[in-house]
Amino acid sequence: MDDLRARVARLEERHGALALETTAVRHDLAGALHEEGHLAEAEAQYALAYEGFVRRFGAAHPFTLTCLNNLALVLRDRGRCDRALALLARVHEERAALYGPAHPLTLNAANNFLSVQVSKGELAAAAEQYPALLAACEQTFGPEDGTTGAVRRDHARVLRRLGRHQEAAGLLGAPTGWGIGPVLLGCARLLRYTGLFPVALTASRYGAELTLGTHRGGRTEFGPGRLLHDDDLGIRCEVVAPEDLEVPYEQALDLRESAGQVADAVGALGEHLAEADRTLGPGRLRVRVFVHHAHWPRLSDPPSLTVDRRLMSLRDRARHDRLMRTTPHHAAPATGRDGRLRSWLGSGGFSVCLADAPQVLVSTDIGLSARPAASPSEA
């Protein structure tokens, strides 16, 4: 970057700030700045480069559109998604006019537009447009091309975030789901490996979404914003900083012991569910597990157990209702930032707080042969 800055300065002095020679190197400098995370300077250099390309070639020239596309991606990374979407829409329109709708550069602009929509949180709108982009990529590049595969995976990721797991699995040609036991065992291994505190975990036969919080006792250098994925088990993990939580804890706390206890409990539950899955048969065990607490890491408060009634048969619902009537518990409604009640599962489920829940301190690697496997009803 220092070399590129020096070259731009020399060319500005010799040819002027908007000369083509200066503009071309300035565009390279902006790309290097973007790659290294210097977003404000990258935006300024791309803006000057765009002005130079417009002056030399016009607003619809391929070089100008490439610069505008790259400027939009910097704006996306700076959180200015509305402006980025406007620029990318323009790039897509101009490239479609120049090359046609199925040209690789046109498809690149369309893909960038959808990536900004996803960054902005407009998942439903992006999900509606991904099928057309995927079909065009298959026609232009072929179904097995790496570019087509990347678009297919991005589409599936959006569908998963929308809760449309079966569509995502069908899109990737993958099995309809993973075994809930192996998914939980994978989560337990991840907790043990990182030593980070589990803020929230949602796991089912469609995979797991895990949020880990940093603290002083962490065993890795994973910082806030780090994303971890295990595609073999469908585990998607995000690392957050304490200040990003609604009820933040102090980052100086050492929570390794608590994290280890939760890892033990998750692993033990995973082993029981794996045995139940083998007993019932593949795909028959339909459960969803939540590990969440509104006030981590104040573990003296009772944990909550969330049950999704939509996954139960009518007979199982009746048996579960009888069990809950005989188990000491009290309702544990969750509240949002506005103080209003909110539900993890809408009208299809409920949460209860087990006031007298026993503490689970079970090792996942000691005494497994001596511990009897749970029956399907116990699991």
Element (H, E) at 350: strand 349-353
Residue 113: predicted pLDDT:
95
Q: Is the peptide bond before 242 cis (omega within 30 degrees of 0)?
A: no
3-state secondary structure of 56: helix
Given a contact cutoff of 8 angstroms between Cβ atoms, the answer to whether 128 and 113 are in contact is no
**Average pLDDT, integer, range 11-35:** 89
pLDDT digits (tens, 9 = 90+) for 345-372: 333 344 444 344 333 333 333 333 444 4
Given a contact cutoff of 8 angstroms between Cβ atoms, the answer to whether 277 and 284 are in contact is yes
Q: How distant, in Å, are the alpha carbons of 306, 307, 322, 330 from that of 325? A: 16, 15, 5, 11
CA distance 27 to 45: 7
What residues are paired with 204 via a beta bridge? 207, 288
DSSP state letters, 336-349: -TTS-EE-SSGGGE
Given a contact cutoff of 8 angstroms between Cβ atoms, the answer to whether 112 and 73 are in contact is yes
> Which of the pair, 278 or 63, is modelled with greater confidence?
63
Residue 64: predicted pLDDT:
93
Given a contact cutoff of 8 angstroms between Cβ atoms, the answer to whether 65 and 95 are in contact is yes
What are the backbone dihedrals phi and psi of residue 352, each rounded to the nearest 5 degrees, phi first?
Answer: -130, 150
**Average pLDDT, integer, range 239-262:** 79
pTM of the model: 0.55
DSSP state letters, 118-146: HHHT-HHHHHHHHHHHHHHHHHHH-TTSH
- pLDDT of residue 135 exceeding 90, the answer is yes
What are the backbone dihedrals phi and psi of residue 253, each rounded to the nearest 5 degrees, phi first?
Answer: -70, 145
CA distance 71 to 58: 17
Count CB neighbours of 206 within 10 A: 21
Encode burial over 109-133: b for 16+ CB neighbours within 10 A, e otherwise. Answer: bbbbbbbbbbebebbeebbebbeeb
- pLDDT of residue 111 exceeding 60, the answer is yes
User: Is the torsion defined by CA of 19, 24, 27, 29 positive or negative?
Assistant: negative
Given a contact cutoff of 8 angstroms between Cβ atoms, the answer to whether 304 and 353 are in contact is yes
Determine which of 91-95, 125-129, 226-230, 362-366 has the lowest per-residue pLDDT on average.
362-366
Which pair of structure tokens corresponds to residue 238? 């995000």
Which pair of structure tokens corresponds to residue 231? 């595609």
